Amino acid sequence: MAYLSDPKETIAVLQRYHFSFQKKFGQNFLIDAHVLDKITDAAGVTSDDVVLEIGPGIGTMTQVLCERAKEVIAVEIDRNLIPILREDTCREYSNLTVINNDVLKTDIAALARERGGRPLKVVANLPYYITTPIVMGLLEKHIPVDNITVMVQREVAERMQAGPGSKDYGALSLAVQYYAETYIAAYVPPNCFMPRPNVGSAVIRLTLRDKPAVQVKDEKKLFAVIRAAFSQRRKTLVNGLANSDEVSCTKEEAAAILAELGLPEAVRGEALTLGQFAAISDKLPE
């Protein structure tokens, strides 16, 4: 069987099926064997694992995953790719289930339950336009997942990993780090894809925590505070909270909470840690 990490094989498959790249699905297929190995190594895929692959494309990474994992569940939104996966590039793998669906509408928890409830390992080369909804959907729904190892736009990976005080730090950094530990496993240049994207990419692994990074009385309130802090970065946190539609808090109440926590009234969200956001959230009026 020919491996699709060889660009010639990828071109041959695309020509065989008269496949046209769909801009609406953000399709960029990997054509670099070293990157495939870095992704599967970072995910720690073993012969005991059930892997959920999001957006398998023509099956480039699927082939590698099927050879390493106990089972692979591949969820692909583009129905034109289904016959390629089932009848051609991955037809030899009996441990592969291909599902033609939007992953945001797929009951991943049910897929895990059907396989004994053991945490899945999620691997994906994600379309850049939908990275955040997919990642946050997996984290927020408390689906049994061990880790999420994804190829994303470099800038997004750096935002996920950023800490207080950096230009990349924001609501996404805090949301991801609340649920998971982050590790950038590799940076990937555009020439590793077909067609070439306009930006660099990165492989990031999110290892889910047994419990969130901080304890709060109300998780929804915490994220409302975080959104208020970063909705307008130039505003102070006091103004952000007072102007938020999600947070019931006056400017005076916000200033009093910050004073109680030993924080300056002019502090901005990018200067605060997740723990400080949690403390503010817990002190807000009901």
Residue 25 pLDDT > 80, yes or no? no
**Average pLDDT, whole number, for the chain?**
93
> Residues 6 or more apart from 233 whose CB is under 8 A from it?
170, 268, 269, 270
Q: Of all helices (H) and strands (E), which one includes residue 180?
A: strand 180-188
Nearest to 218 by CA among 134, 272, 138, 285: 285
Q: 219-283: CATH homologous superfamily? A: rRNA adenine dimethylase, C-terminal domain (1.10.8.100)
Residues of the chain with CATH 3.40.50.150: 7-208
CA-nearest of 175, 270, 167 to 220 is 175
Across 202-231, average pLDDT: 96
pLDDT confidence bin for 185, thresholds 50/70/90: very high
Assigned CATH topology for domain 7-208: Rossmann fold (3.40.50)
Indicate the pTM of the whole model: 0.92
Length of the chain: 286
DSSP bridge partners of 30: 193
Domain(s) of CATH 1.10.8.100: residues in the chain = 219-283
| Token pair of 55 as six digits | 């957006």
Which H or E run contains 203? strand 201-208
| Sequence-ordered alpha helix ranges (H) in 17-78 | 33-43, 60-68
270 confidence band (pLDDT: 50, 70, 90): very high
Of 53, 30, 36, 27, give the one whose Cα is nearest residue 134: 53
